[in-house]
Amino acid sequence: MTRVRMGMVGGGEGGFIGRIHRLAAALDGEVELVCGAFSADPERSRRSGAAWGLDPARVYPDWQVLLAAEAARPAAERAEFIAVVTPNHLHLPVAAAALEAGFAVFCEKPATRDLAEARALAEVVAASGRPFALAHTYAGYPLVHEARARIAAGELGRVRRVVVEYQQGWLAADPGGEPWRLDPARSGPSGCLADIGVHAFHLAEFVTGLEVAELAADLAAVVPGRRVEDDAAVLLRFAGGARGVLLASQVSPGEENGLRIRVYGERAGLEWFQEAPNTLWLKGNDRPAARLTAGGPWLGKVARALTRTPPGHPEGYIEAFANLYRAFAAAVRAGGRHAPPEAAWLPGIREAVRGMAFVDAALASSRAGGAWRALPADLAEEKTP
């Protein structure tokens, strides 16, 4: 199997998420980083490329040059897809230009700064016919797929209730400077929801197979002086009647990366926690709670296919991320807009738009004192391609 060639925009040395992308792309040996414009600072971009052993000729001073230069290379050699690992305000311009230049795109979340940008991006994706994936890493964990498969198979009965929370503490104190995530011009009008709330929202829809129809939100900038929310509580109503609660906070000291989902149906419930990702709990009133661990014979086909190690040998965040990259590599190889079966679950432009619609509705609801707001009706239709 030949490696799929990746270019990267953003993600230069020192950044957290750029390194994760490189590690995740490298893990399975199916993706090769061949070029990049790693920073708005050309010198930092150059240093980054050198550190990672790239051909200096393919380390570009900015993303426009990258797209032009790579597009001009022979097909057998040029980057096949672009990973967009920039602050949010560049997602739309970079991703759109890359798609229009014929590249597939693997984009960091949130998809864009706001819903309007996400819709604009969706049009470009549709027109391009190129694969587009969104980095909802947590969808890469095997036990998240196990949860999804069991719910789809009816093991819980009809889903009635979802509690999804994403607790962090790193913004409890002022981090010094104004990180771009707290700057609406670069991040968009939302802080915490755009940064981590979209993960929780995606996870809830991904695991349950349900769509949020409306919501009521209470957002706050808890730390004085912030221009975007750093704490959010959102009540959810799913189409079909299930209820949900989504909590996202970045001002909860001592919480590291506390993404947790609990789903309760008529007959059973389940729970998954990202910090202990190799365990899925399945519970009922009439039987002892079952601890499903990764790699075991009790897991379904999909979870097993996404697992690299035997039981008791933990996998983690990088492996989950690598599962996205591996699925995306399959999609890029397949070439067209429609993903091959093993990549069908990959979050894409539909999830991008829904995520931003969620943020948009939450901001609107909170501004209206917590009034219920529907997600745009047309979004539900995008489900069937």
Interface of this chain with a copy of itself, residues 8 to 27, rule: CB under 8 A: 16, 19-20, 22-23, 26-27
**# residues near a copy of itself by CB under 8 A:** 88
User: In the complex with a copy of itself, which residue's Cβ is closer, 271 or 382?
Assistant: 271
Site for a copy of itself, residues 153 to 212, rule: CB under 8 A: 156, 160-161, 163, 165, 168-170, 172-173
Q: Provide, rounded to whole angstroms, the least separation between the CB of residue 57 and a copy of itself.
A: 17
Q: Provide, rounded to whole angstroms, the least separation between the CB of residue 188 and a copy of itself.
A: 22
User: In the complex with a copy of itself, which residue's Cβ is closer, 22 or 46?
Assistant: 22
Q: Provide, rounded to whole angstroms, the least separation between the CB of residue 341 and a copy of itself.
A: 20
Amino acid at 187: S
Q: Which stretch binds a copy of itself (CB under 8 A): 40-48, 66-74, 115-123, 291-299?
A: 291-299
Sign (positive or negative) of CA dihedral 363, 367, 372, 378 = negative
User: Concatenated DSSP letters for 98-145?
Assistant: HHHTT-EEEEPSSSSSSHHHHHHHHHHHHHHT--EEE--GGGG-HHHH
User: In the complex with a copy of itself, which residue's Cβ is closer, 126 or 222?
Assistant: 222
In angstroms, the Cα distances linking 262 to 112, 234, 299 are 28, 15, 19
For residue 220, state whether it binds a copy of itself (rule: CB under 8 A). yes
Site for a copy of itself, residues 230 to 289, rule: CB under 8 A: 231, 233, 235, 243, 245, 247, 249, 251-258, 262, 264-269, 274-278, 282-289
Q: Provide, rounded to whole angstroms, the least separation between the CB of residue 31 and a copy of itself.
A: 11
In 3D, which of 85, 92, 88 has the Cα closest to residue 12?
85
Six-digit token string for 315: 């996998």
User: In the complex with a copy of itself, which residue's Cβ is closer, 158 or 338?
Assistant: 158
**3-class SS at 150?**
helix
Six-digit token string for 120: 């604009």
Q: Considering only residues 297, 301, 341, 384, which one is a binding residue for a copy of itself as defined by CB under 8 A? A: 297
Site for a copy of itself, residues 99 to 118, rule: CB under 8 A: none
User: In the complex with a copy of itself, which residue's Cβ is closer, 312 or 335?
Assistant: 312
Q: Which stretch binds a copy of itself (CB under 8 A): 85-93, 103-111, 304-312, 342-350?
A: 304-312
For residue 309, state whether it binds a copy of itself (rule: CB under 8 A). yes
**β-bridge partners, 218:** 233
Q: Considering only residues 43, 53, 76, 377, which one is a binding residue for a copy of itself as defined by CB under 8 A? A: 53
The span from the CA of 144 to the CA of 129, in Å, is: 29
The span from the CA of 377 to the CA of 361, in Å, is: 12
> Across the beta sheet with 31-37, what order do the strands follow?
31-37, 4-10, 81-85, 104-107, 132-134
The span from the CA of 40 to the CA of 67, in Å, is: 15
The span from the CA of 333 to the CA of 342, in Å, is: 12
Q: Which stretch binds a copy of itself (CB under 8 A): 102-110, 218-226, 323-331, 345-353?
A: 218-226
Site for a copy of itself, residues 23 to 52, rule: CB under 8 A: 23, 26-29, 51-52
For residue 225, state whether it binds a copy of itself (rule: CB under 8 A). no
Q: 174 with 223: CB under 8 angstroms? A: yes
For residue 74, state whether it binds a copy of itself (rule: CB under 8 A). no
Six-digit token string for 262: 């609990």
Q: Provide, rounded to whole angstroms, the least separation between the CB of residue 99 and a copy of itself.
A: 27
Phi, psi for 262 (deg, rounded to 5): -125, 130
In 3D, which of 68, 66, 130, 78 has the Cα closest to residue 104?
130
Q: Provide, rounded to whole angstroms, the least separation between the CB of residue 216 and a copy of itself.
A: 5
For residue 319, state whether it binds a copy of itself (rule: CB under 8 A). yes
**3-class SS at 184?**
helix
Q: Provide, rounded to whole angstroms, the least separation between the CB of residue 298 and a copy of itself.
A: 5
In 3D, which of 278, 143, 142, 164 has the Cα closest to residue 210?
164
Site for a copy of itself, residues 119 to 158, rule: CB under 8 A: 156
